[in-house]
Amino acid sequence: MKILVLASKHVRELLTYRECADVMREALAGLARGQIQQPLRTVVRPRDAAGFMGLMPSYSPEAGYGLKALVITPRNPAVGKDAHQGGVLLFDVQTGEPLALINASAITEVRTAAVSAVATDLLARPEAAELAVIGGVPDLAQHVLKVERRHGTAPNRERLIVGGAG
């Protein structure tokens, strides 16, 4: 059995924001229809540990099983590392065999922008002149640009509001 391993550079080369937005639109619809399972995350907080772990499982009849596992270590930036370290494991839908281990930070970056693009499509009024991006996305400015490129909102945007840790 071979397991595909994708580092952040591979994810950024292979997964486009547009492609991810299309997949996320279908995944969110499947979740709403009850076809996809995504239970609440489990958090492991060991006493006196440098960080904590988040486990986020999912299941899709088409895609199989997935598990995003992250260790959040708040002091990592002081030593030049991202506070979020982790991977996404993908398993075969029929056999349960592990298929891939993918850098979680890169997937999360692309997925967050993609889901924002889908939400903008579905929830924003066509005449909306303001775009607000709020949250802890590592690079909010890049996130906004990706959403704008996807939706062509820049020419009509009169005001951009960006807030949060980034």
User: Coil, helix or strand for 75?
Assistant: coil
Q: Is residue 137 part of a domain?
A: no
DSSP codes of every residue in 58-87: EEETTTEEEEEEEEE-TTGGGGTS-SEEEE
Q: Is residue 8 part of a domain?
A: yes
Instruction: Count structural domains, the chain.
Output: 1
What is the tens place of the pLDDT at every residue in 22-57?
Answer: 999 999 999 999 999 999 999 999 999 999 999 999
What is residue 120's predicted lDDT score, i.e. its pLDDT?
Answer: 79
Q: Is residue 139 part of a domain?
A: no
What is residue 118's predicted lDDT score, i.e. its pLDDT?
Answer: 84
What is residue 155's predicted lDDT score, i.e. its pLDDT?
Answer: 43
Which comes out higher in pLDDT, residue 49 or 16?
49
The domain of 11 spans 4-123
What is the tens place of the pLDDT at every residue in 94-153?
Answer: 999 999 999 999 998 888 888 887 887 788 787 777 777 776 655 655 666 666 565 554
Q: Is residue 146 part of a domain?
A: no
Cα gap 72→41, rounded to integer Å: 14
Q: Are 87 and 56 in contact (CB under 8 A)?
A: no
32 exposed, middle or buried (CB, 10 Å; 0-12, 13-18, 19+)? Answer: exposed
DSSP codes of every residue in 117-155: HHHHHHHS-TT--EEEEES--TTHHHHHHHHHHHHT-GG
**Helix extents (H) in 33-139:** 104-123
Q: Is the pLDDT of residue 15 over 70?
A: yes
- Looking at the DSSP bridge assignments, the partners of residue 6 are 102
Q: Are 36 and 30 in contact (CB under 8 A)?
A: yes
CATH number of the domain enclosing 32: 3.30.1780.10
Q: Is the pLDDT of residue 166 over 80?
A: no
What is residue 64's predicted lDDT score, i.e. its pLDDT?
Answer: 94
Q: Is residue 10 part of a domain?
A: yes
pTM above 0.75, yes or no: yes
